[in-house]
Amino acid sequence: MNEIQMRAACEAMTAWLSHPQELGRAPAKIECAGEFDLYDMHYYIFRYKKTSMGKWLIGVCGGYEGDGTEHCGHVFSEMEPYEEDTALEKAVALVETVRRFWMERASEAEEQKENTGAFAGFVLLSEPEWNPQDLVTDLRMTWGIDGEVNEDSEGTVVFVQTDDMMAAVSLMPGPIPDGEAEQNAETNYMWPEAVEAAKAHKAHLLVAVLGTDADLLEKGKLFVKLMACCCNQKRASGVNTSGTVFQPEFYRDFSMMMKEDTLPLFNWIWFGLYRREGGICGYTYGMTAFGMDEMEVLDADAQPEEVRDFLASLAGYVLEEGVTLQDGETIGFSAEDKHAITRSEGISLPGSTLKITF
């Protein structure tokens, strides 16, 4: 046995167990109970006790390459009883569990990377008609943005070009496929007619902002300006973005916050709310476009608007300050205000989300 490597593994196992979300302190006793190789890496089996008189529990730490003392992150315990006859079998199972966890996290990170900076949305139209020149005029008069109408065999497109971004608006002469608008409209608790408007739309404007080197906040602002001006089209009947369908007037009015040098938070992020037996639940939808995790509040003993405002404050802080919230940390708006952060499988949304205690 490599004694130096084993001691490093023991220290790593102890540190992991000391985390507030695990034992919250160092184990009363810990000792190496074996070693094995898996996936061309070396692992150590540990048995430990929560208290000096407690039962032995099993944990594993690895994998190590060669004689190195840096493990690959496979440190884990489900705090199951240690039994000598099954220790190796259980340790291998623990490694497989933690490997799956990190592989899923890597897959989610890759997916989040793909979603970062993806600013695209749809403005619903009651008829397949629009006036591109009116859109160009609105962009110039409202935001000082120069647009250009381009007509070719594919149809008419309004282009906007800046130093590091390009945007396009084009007519799609049909409803959004697969009933997406109707499904999203069901989440808008502030607009009773949302589903009706979604079902009735006959066409939509596709709005997309491109530019891999562009600042994400600036990219998001340009997106909102384009979408808001599209809301001035005579046939505009809804705005399908951020997992819901907004009322055109709502979307346009909130875009005006940018005139006061304020982030258009309520254009970017939908703050979903619903009630279940434990209380009010809320979630964000739209943070991933900025490379951030979505957030959830679960079973809060509060009014719906309190949960919404709480999430809005968190989202605004994260976006304005460029802060990345981490699993196991706390966040608060004063020295006494502490809210625990846990990253786990989403309840309201697919993938992992940050659960924030209310």
Structure confidence by residue, pLDDT tens digits, 9-67: 999 999 999 988 899 899 999 999 999 999 999 999 999 999 999 999 999 999 999 99
For the residues 289-297, what does the mean pLDDT come to? 95
Residue 99: pLDDT band with limits 50, 70, 90: confident
Q: How confident is the model at residue 112, as a pLDDT?
A: 56
* pLDDT surpasses 80 at 289: yes
* pLDDT surpasses 70 at 310: yes
CB neighbourhood size of 238 (10 A): 31
Contacts of 258 (CB under 8 A, 6+ apart): 221, 224, 225, 264
d(CA 37, CA 57): 21
Residue 162: pLDDT band with limits 50, 70, 90: confident
- In the predicted model, what is the mean pLDDT of the chain? 92
Task: For residue 69, give the 3-state DSSP assignment.
Answer: coil
Percent of the chain residues topping a pLDDT of 70: 96
Cβ(190)–Cβ(249) below 8 Å: no
Number of residues that this document lists for the chain: 358
For the residues 259-281, what does the mean pLDDT come to? 96
d(CA 188, CA 201): 17
For the residues 97-110, what does the mean pLDDT come to? 72
For the residues 212-238, what does the mean pLDDT come to? 94
Residue 342: pLDDT band with limits 50, 70, 90: very high
Residue 140: pLDDT band with limits 50, 70, 90: very high
Span of 90-104, 192-206, 210-224, 268-282 with lowest mean pLDDT:
90-104
For the residues 166-190, what does the mean pLDDT come to? 95
| Per-position DSSP letters for 162-221, written without gaps between them | -SS-EEEEEEESSPPGGGHHHHHHTT-TT-TTHHHHHHH--EEEEEEEE-TTS-HHHHHH
* pLDDT surpasses 90 at 109: no
For the residues 301-310, what does the mean pLDDT come to? 96
Strands (E) across 50-115 are located at 57-64, 74-76
* pLDDT surpasses 90 at 351: no
For the residues 158-174, what does the mean pLDDT come to? 91
For the residues 184-210, what does the mean pLDDT come to? 96
For the residues 95-114, what does the mean pLDDT come to? 71
Q: Model's pTM, two decimal places?
A: 0.71
* pLDDT surpasses 80 at 114: no
3-state helix, strand, coil in the chain (%, to 5): 35, 30, 35
N-to-C CA span, the chain: 48
